[in-house]
Homo-oligomer: A and B are copies of this chain.
Amino acid sequence: MCESGALRLGPVALVGAGPGDPELLTLRAVRRLEAADVVLHDSLIPEEVLSLVPKTAKLISVGKRCGDVKDRGIQQKEIHELMLANSRRGCRVVRLKCGDPFIFGRGGEELEFLTAHQVPCEVVPGITSALGAAASCQVPLTHRGFNTNHVHLCVGQSKAKTLPDMDWKELANRAMQQTAVFYMGLKLLNQICATLKEHGAPADTPMMLVESATSPQQQSLHATLGTMPEEVLKQDFGAGGPVLIILGPTACFPAHLESLASPSKKRRTEPSPAVAGAQFLGGELAA
């Protein structure tokens, strides 16, 4: 409950909502939402998540899309001011962000602002999209057998909608020995692929795109560094939601698993057992 004329600043929790699937919220995120007086949330936060907030609390959409580099609608400065104003009213504020607050989430800037104003502040981590997509698409980000012991999380475009300042030569050289995940890279996909190839990355490096990872609308597209730009055009991919690019040997994992599972390649004589436990595997958020 907010206190009118509060003498104490209400606490602000910067909470990661995860990649989209409401069941990927952490227990702490749920507790913070249930105890909130005010929730300032990004766009694309699912209704099931927002419904955890008490009816008496105030929900304010601050209009940034998950993983979007642009600030849409209310700008970052206004988000800061809204957090502060509600804290000054003695409210328990949740700033609910897609993914994880500290991976391309501006959590650092919000933490700085709040700290400078003496607002007590907590950060609740969330499943970042790369991990959510990897799990739901069954693509390991590290794998000894595929010689990938190194993961890069990077953005696919900078503020100015150009390729970000990165060591593209290194990314290209190591393309087959690591997993690179580009957030927000679809618009510059062609440039990303061309730049990596110019720097010597093998055209047959596996690449996949994941749209709306972990949501019911999830779609994925599997190709290579060389063929992906064309595939995207063919399939008209990425119109619906945020897209993640995964580049590296394990990006072909789904096809690899399929070949492992195929009885024709395994010389098994026993019949293939029926798939059990659909309910166990396919559960949805309990009401």
| Residues of A bordering B, CB below 8 Å | 6-11, 13, 16, 18, 21-28, 30-32, 35, 90, 92, 100-109, 111-112, 115-116, 118, 120-128, 131-132, 134-136, 138-146, 149-155, 158-159, 164-167, 170, 173-174, 177, 250, 253, 256-257, 260-261, 263, 266, 272-277, 280-281, 283, 285-286
Contact = CB atoms under 8 A, between A and B. Distances in A.
Nearest to A277: B11
Contact of A108 (B121, B146, B281): B146
B28 A23 contact: yes
Nearest to A171: B170
A115 B261 contact: yes
Contacts of A159: 144
A32 to B, nearest CB: 8
A218 B87 CA distance: 28
- State the oligomeric state as a number of copies: 2
B285 A27 contact: yes
Contacts of A24: 26-28, 125
A133 to B, nearest CB: 9
Contacts of A253: 108
Contacts of A275: 8-9, 120
A109 B145 contact: yes
Contacts of A108: 140, 142-143, 145-146, 250, 253
A112 B138 CA distance: 10
A5 to B, nearest CB: 13
